[in-house]
Structure 1
Amino acid sequence: MVVQAWEWLRRRKPLVDAGFASPLLVFSLPWLYATSYGVSEVAYVALTAALIGPLVLRRTYPRLVFAVIAVASGVQCLLGVNPVPGNAAVLMGLYTVAAGFSFRWGLAAAVVAETGAVMATWRYPTGAGDREYTFFMLTMMVVGVWVLGLHMRTRRAYLSSVEERAERLERERDNEVKMAMAAERARIARELHDVVAHNVSVIVVQADGASYAIDTDLGRTRQALETISSTGRLALAEMRRLLGVLRESDDAGEYAPQPGVAQLDDLVEQVRSSGLAVTFDVDGQPPVMSAGRQLTVFRIVQEALTNTLKHGGPKVTVSVRLSYSADDLEIRVRDDGRGAAAPDDGRGHGLAGMRERVTVYGGSVHAGPCPGGGFEVVARIPVREEVEAA
Structure 2
Amino acid sequence: RRVEEERVRIAREVHDITAHSLSAVSIQLAAAERLVERDPQMAKEAVSTARATAKAALDDIRSMIGVLRHGDDAAETMPAAGTNQVDELESYLRGAGLDVMLDMAAYDRARVPAHVDMALFTVAREACTNAVRHARAQRVSLRFAVEDGAATLSVIDDGAGCGVAAQPADMAAPQLPRAADGAGHGVAGMAERIHVLGGSFSAGDGEDGGFCVRASIPLRGTEA
What TM-score comes out, normalization by structure 2 length? 0.58
Deviation for aligned residue 1:187: 6.5
2:196 corresponds to which of 360, 363, 375: 360
Residues 186 and 321 (structure 1 numbering): CA distance in 2 closer, same or farther, change over 3 Å? same
Residues 368 and 182 (structure 1 numbering): CA distance in 2 closer, same or farther, change over 3 Å? farther
Q: Distance in 1 between matches of 2:107 and 2:6?
A: 35
Would you say 1:264 and 2:100 are equivalent positions?
no
Deviation for aligned residue 1:296: 0.2
8 Å Cα contact 2:202-2:214 kept in structure 1: yes
Q: Distance in 1 between matches of 2:125 and 2:114?
A: 16
1:345 corresponds to which of 181, 184, 198: 181
8 Å Cα contact 1:188-1:357 kept in structure 2: no
Deviation for aligned residue 1:372: 3.2
Residues 358 and 341 (structure 1 numbering): CA distance in 2 closer, same or farther, change over 3 Å? closer
Helix, strand or coil: the match of 2:162? Answer: helix
Would you say 1:290 and 2:113 are equivalent positions?
yes
Structure 2 matches for 1:32-111, cutoff 5 A?
none
2:101 corresponds to which of 279, 293, 306: 279
Residues 269 and 368 (structure 1 numbering): CA distance in 2 closer, same or farther, change over 3 Å? same
Q: For structure 2, list consecutive stretches of 5 or more residues without a partner in the other structure.
A: 14-66, 165-178
Helix, strand or coil: the match of 1:365? Answer: strand
In the alignment, what sits opposite 1:377? 213
* Residues 93-115 of structure 1: per-residue CA shift (max 9 Å, x gap): xxxxxxxxxxxxxxxxxxxxxxx
Helix, strand or coil: the match of 1:304? Answer: helix
* Residues 123-167 of structure 1: per-residue CA shift (max 9 Å, x gap): xxxxxxxxxxxxxxxxxxxxxxxxxxxxxxxxxxxxxxxxxxxxx
Q: Distance in 1 between matches of 2:93 and 2:7?
A: 25
In the alignment, what sits opposite 2:124? 301
Deviation for aligned residue 1:185: 2.4
Deviation for aligned residue 1:184: 4.0
8 Å Cα contact 1:326-1:383 kept in structure 2: no
Deviation for aligned residue 1:188: 7.5
Helix, strand or coil: the match of 1:309? Answer: helix
Helix, strand or coil: the match of 2:201? Answer: strand
The one-letter code sitting in structure 2 at the alignment partner of 1:278 is V
Deviation for aligned residue 1:336: 0.8
Larger relative contact order (C-alpha < 8 A, sep ≥ 6)? Answer: 2
Give 1 or 2: higher helix fraction.
1
Query: RMSD of aligned C-alpha atoms?
Result: 2.9
Q: Distance in 2 between matches of 1:188 and 1:367?
A: 18
Residues 345 and 187 (structure 1 numbering): CA distance in 2 closer, same or farther, change over 3 Å? closer
8 Å Cα contact 1:185-1:356 kept in structure 2: no
The one-letter code sitting in structure 1 at the alignment partner of 2:88 is D
Deviation for aligned residue 1:289: 2.2
Helix, strand or coil: the match of 1:339? Answer: coil
Residues 188 and 371 (structure 1 numbering): CA distance in 2 closer, same or farther, change over 3 Å? closer
8 Å Cα contact 2:81-2:121 kept in structure 1: yes
* Residues 17-67 of structure 1: per-residue CA shift (max 9 Å, x gap): xxxxxxxxxxxxxxxxxxxxxxxxxxxxxxxxxxxxxxxxxxxxxxxxxxx
Deviation for aligned residue 1:329: 1.5
Percent identical among aligned pairs is 34
8 Å Cα contact 1:340-1:373 kept in structure 2: no
In the alignment, what sits opposite 2:171? none
Residues 182 and 307 (structure 1 numbering): CA distance in 2 closer, same or farther, change over 3 Å? farther
8 Å Cα contact 1:367-1:375 kept in structure 2: yes
Deviation for aligned residue 1:344: 1.2
8 Å Cα contact 2:107-2:144 kept in structure 1: no
Q: Distance in 2 between matches of 1:309 and 1:188?
A: 19
Helix, strand or coil: the match of 1:386? Answer: coil
Q: Distance in 1 between matches of 2:104 and 2:212?
A: 17
Q: For structure 1, list consecutive stretches of 5 or more residues without a partner in the other structure.
A: 1-178, 190-248
8 Å Cα contact 2:97-2:138 kept in structure 1: no
The one-letter code sitting in structure 1 at the alignment partner of 2:9 is R
8 Å Cα contact 2:199-2:215 kept in structure 1: yes
Give 1 or 2: higher strand fraction.
2
